[in-house]
Amino acid sequence: MQQSATATRMNARTWGLLALLGMIWGGSFFFARIAVAHVPPATLVLLRVGIAALALHVYIAGRFDIYATLRARWRAFLLLGLVNNAVPHMLIFLGQTQIGAGLASILNATTPIFTVLIANRMTADEKLSPEKIAGCLIGLLGTAVLIGPRALAPFAGDGGPPLWALVLPVLAAASYGLAATYGKRFRGVAPPVIAAGQLSASTLLMLPVSLMLDSPWQLALPPLSAILAVLALALLSTAYGYILFFRIMAAAGATNTSLVTLLVPPSAILSGMLFLGERLTPLGILGMMLVLLGLVVLDGRALARLRPA
């Protein structure tokens, strides 16, 4: 069904909510960088999704026929939780043991590119157009600029982050892209139920992984800064982030809401620079600009406005 003009209009309040969501999701890379220094990645994923799932269940309070939906579609929620939470969060947190919040957010900003490529392959109604191909190529070029020099680091004595740490956020982006395509089968399910269902499923998936890999009962109590970062990651960036995301989508439509992808890296970079002393190299800035340009071309609206009537 085509969205009405009212549903897709971006007013000042909606733009403000979108900017807030960009800050919150950009902050997730900042919070993760603090927490992962004291909490092993698998346990950090478990804490993030588990606390967020609990918070969303409290928020929903049995509405939207949530428990009947979870019982009827538990297999689908398990798969969605795997590819949209458990796997990408684990990959990003592992990568962030070696790279900063800003760089991780830029690499993960390629998610829409992978979404387009995967949807072209797996669906019949979302095929590549010339604009989408151009946007994907530009964004992938930016990714290559960010990652490429690292591949030669062992030979050049660069001393920078290892190649695997740079590749992991990109693999997480591919997992998110797969989840976006798979998630279409949840049409008709209330968005808060989708969020709570996938987070509940990923909690069940990550519990045995955390127990086997980290033996969390043997871990030392993290410092207060790490505990606060975990709570912010779960309650602010995940639980409230989902609620805000769906509120914006209801007011402005999915296409306008997707603009948040452009706001996340600047937010993560700024917080990393201000509070963690991170900085981007000139090559990193070039890669970021190419990735963001690719997303603008992929979105298509800016190019449409430049075309003559």
| pLDDT one-digit tens code per residue, 172-213 | 999 999 998 888 888 889 999 999 999 999 999 999 999 999
Least confident of 20-29, 97-106, 132-141: 132-141
- Cα-Cα-Cα-Cα dihedral of 298, 299, 303, 309, to 10°? 130
N-term to C-term CA, the chain: 26
Asked whether 45 and 201 are in contact (CB, 8 A), the reply is no
pLDDT mean across residues, the chain: 87
- Please choose, from the candidates 18, 4, 36, the residue with its C-alpha nearest in 3D space to the C-alpha of residue 233: 36
Who wins on pLDDT, 167 or 4?
167
Whether pLDDT at 1 is above 50: no
Residue whose pair of structure tokens reads 């151009």 in the numeric block: 134
What sign results for the dihedral spanned by CA atoms 48, 238, 24, 182? positive
- Is residue 156's pLDDT more than 60? no
Instruction: For residue 225, name the pLDDT band (cuts at 50, 70, 90).
Output: very high
Both tokens of 204, joined, read 């069940």
- Is 161 within 8 Å of 174 (Cβ atoms)? no
Candidates 108, 118, 134, 128; CA nearest to 287 is 108
Q: Evaluate if residue 157 carries a pLDDT over 70.
A: no
Q: Is pLDDT above 70 for 98? A: yes
Confidence tier at 125 by pLDDT (50, 70, 90): low
Residues found in the chain:
309
For residue 74, give the amino acid letter.
Answer: W
- Rounded to whole angstroms, the Cα distance separating 58 from 74 reads 19
Per residue in 24-76, pLDDT tens? 999 999 999 999 999 999 999 999 999 999 999 999 999 999 999 999 999 99
Tracing tokens 């949807």 back to the chain, one arrives at 119
User: CA 204 to CA 278: how far, in whole Å?
Assistant: 35
Give the integer Cα–Cα distance in Å for 44 and 255. Answer: 31
